[in-house]
Amino acid sequence: MATTLPHLGFSSDYERFERATEGLEAPFALVDLDAMWANSDDMLRRAAGKPIRVASKSVRSRPILERILAHDPGYRGLLTYTLPESLWLAEHGFDDLVLAYPTADRTAIAELARLTEERPAAAPVLMTDSPAHLDLIEAAAGPGSHPIRVAIELDVNWWALGGRVKIGPKRSAIRTPQQAVEFAREILRRPRLKLAGLMAYEGHIAGLGDRPPGKRLQGRVIEWMQHRSAAEIAERRGAVVSAIAELADLEFVNGGGTGSLQGTAAEPAVTELAAGSGFFAPTLFDTYSAFKLRPAAMFAMPVVRKPSASIATVLGGGYLASGPGEPSRVPSPHLPGGLRLDRFEGAGEVQTPVIGEAARRLSIGDRVYFRHTKAGELCERFDSLHLVSGDAVVDEVPTYRGEGRNFL
C-alpha cells in the first residue's frame, strides 16, 4: 500500500488524494467530485440560464452522466458522439439525445428506425449537412410511420482574407442563410425525415484557450480572432435561424462548448448550449482568460524506479490525447507539484520518468497524479473512476470501457 503522508512539503491536494485512495493500488483514475461540482457551478453561471446539453464524449461514464443530469435542471439532454452509443444510452433510459456527428452506420440507423416506431420521443436526432446524409438515412431506415428526426449542422468557422484562410474544425459545408434554407427545404421535401433542430459548434473558440503558456503574442492573436469571429457568428447564426423559422419550427438551436458558454449564451438565436469537458477540466482548458476550472479528473501511476536521486519513473502513463501531434497532447504530471516530463522520453507506453524538485522526495511505491489533455479520452484507459469527496473515496463507477463499451 502506498502512502506518502509523511512526505512533508507536498501540496495539500496530494495529501488529500493520498489519504482518500490509500487502499487502492495504482494505476487508477479518480474524479474529485468537489472540483467537478465547482466546475459545474461555474459552467451554469456562464450559461446564464440557458440549458446545457451534456457532451457525452467528454464524460464517457454512464453513472457520471446520470449524476450530472440529476444535479441541476440547467442540464438538459445529451449531445452524443456515435449512433451505437446513442442507442445504448436510450436503452438505459436516457432520452433527449442529439447525435452531434454524422453517421454512416446503416445497421444502427435501421435500429434507430425501429426505436423511432416504438418510442418516437426517445429516438436520438441525427446530424446532417448534405443530401448524401439524407439519402443514406432514408435508405437505411426503410419505410415507417414515424419520421426520423434530423438536425442541420451549420459551419461557424472564422474566415479571413475573403475565405482564403479558414480557422476552425472542418465540419459542415452549410454556411450561409441561403445554403441553410436550401438544405432545410431538402429535408422538408422528404416525408421519411423530420427537421428537428440546428447545431453550430464554434470549436476555434470553445476549445482553444486564449492564454497559451509562454506564447503571449499568439494569445493576443487568438483573443482578437475569437472576438471578431464571435461577432460574425452571432449575426450569421441569427440570420440562418430566422430564415429557417419561415419554413419550420426548430425544437432546438445548439451552440457552444466549455470554452465559449458565456459568449454563445448571449446570442438570442441559441436556445441551448453544449458542454462536457468542463466537468473533468483537462489541461486543454487551463488556458482561458475568461474562466478558471479546477482539475477534477486525473490518473495515478505508481513510482516503480529511481534511475537517480532526481528522477522518479512511474509505470505507464503515455495516454496521449487526440488532435494535432504536438507537445500539448501529452499528459501532465499534476501532483505532487513541481514535476515535469523528461523532454526526450515524454510519457511512455510502459514507463514515464518525471523530473523536478519533487521527484527527489518520491520513492518506489509512491504515486504521481497526472492530468490528461482531454476529458473523455481518459475513460478509454480505465474501467472505473474512483469518486473522491473531501479526503475519502465515496464511490467507484464504471467508465464506458468498464461496461465493455468502446464507441470510438
Ligand X SMILES: Cc1ncc(COP(=O)(O)O)c(C=O)c1O
Chain residues binding ligand X by CB under 6 A are 55, 58, 79, 100, 201, 206-207, 257-258, 274-278, 375
What sign for the dihedral angle of Cα 31, 8, 283, 402?
negative
Q: What's the min distance (Å) between Cβ of 137 and ligand X?
A: 19
Considering beta carbons, is residue 14 or 285 the nearer one to ligand X? Answer: 285
Nearer CB in complex with ligand X: 276/353: 276
Nearer to ligand X, 136 or 375 (CB): 375
Residue 59 near residue 280 (C-beta atoms within 8 A) = yes
Least separation in angstroms between residue 336's CB and ligand X is: 28
Q: State in angstroms the smallest separation of the CB of 100 from ligand X.
A: 4
In the complex, the smallest distance separating the C-beta of residue 142 from ligand X, rounded to whole angstroms, is 28
Which is nearer to ligand X, 32 or 272 (by Cβ)? Answer: 272
Instruction: Give min distance, CB of 39 to ligand X, in A.
Output: 11
CB nearer ligand X, residue 255 or residue 336: 255
Query: Do the beta carbons of residue 361 and residue 8 sit within 8 Å?
Result: no
Q: How far is the CB of 76 from ligand X (least distance, A)?
A: 14
Nearest approach in angstroms of CB 51 to ligand X is: 14
Annotate the chain with three-state secondary structure.
CCCCCCCCCCCHHHHHHHHHCCCCCCCEEEEEHHHHHHHHHHHHHHHCCCCEEEEHHHCCCHHHHHHHHHHCCCEEEEEECCHHHHHHHHHCCCCCEEECCCCCCHHHHHHHHHHHHHCHHHCCEEEECCHHHHHHHHHHHCCCCCCEEEEEECCCCEEEHHHCEEECCCCCCCCCHHHHHHHHHHHHCCCCEEEEEEEECCHHHHCCCCCCCCCHHHHHHHHHHHHHHHHHHHHHHHHHHHHHHCCCCCCEEEECCHHHHHHHHCCCCCCEEEECHHHHCCHHHCCCCCCCCCCCEEEEEEEEEEEECCEEEEECCCCCCCCCCCHHHCCEEEECCCCEECCCCCCCCCEEEEECHHHHHCCCCCEEEEECCCCHHHHHCCCEEEEEECCEEEEEEECCHHHCCCCC
Instruction: Tell me the closest approach of the beta carbon of residue 308 to ligand X, in angstroms.
Output: 39
Q: Which is nearer to ligand X, 277 or 313 (CB)?
A: 277
Residue 7's DSSP bridge partners are none
Find all residues with CB under 8 Å of 22, minimum gap 6, and list them: 1, 2, 3
* Residue 111 contacts residue 148 (beta carbons within 8 Å): no
User: Closest approach of Cβ 252 to ligand X, in Å?
Assistant: 12
- Residue whose CB is less far from ligand X, 197 or 333: 197
> If we measure between CA atoms, which residue out of 201, 200, 199, 198 comes closest to residue 250?
198
Kindly report the backbone phi and psi dihedral angles of residue 338, in degrees, each rounded to the nearest multiple of 5, phi listed first. Answer: 90, 15
**Is the Cβ of residue 64 or residue 354 nearer to ligand X in the bound state?**
64
CB nearer ligand X, residue 10 or residue 280: 280
* Closest chain position to ligand X (CB): 257
Nearer residue to ligand X within complex by CB, 20 or 261: 261
Closest distance to ligand X from the beta carbon of 303 (Å): 32
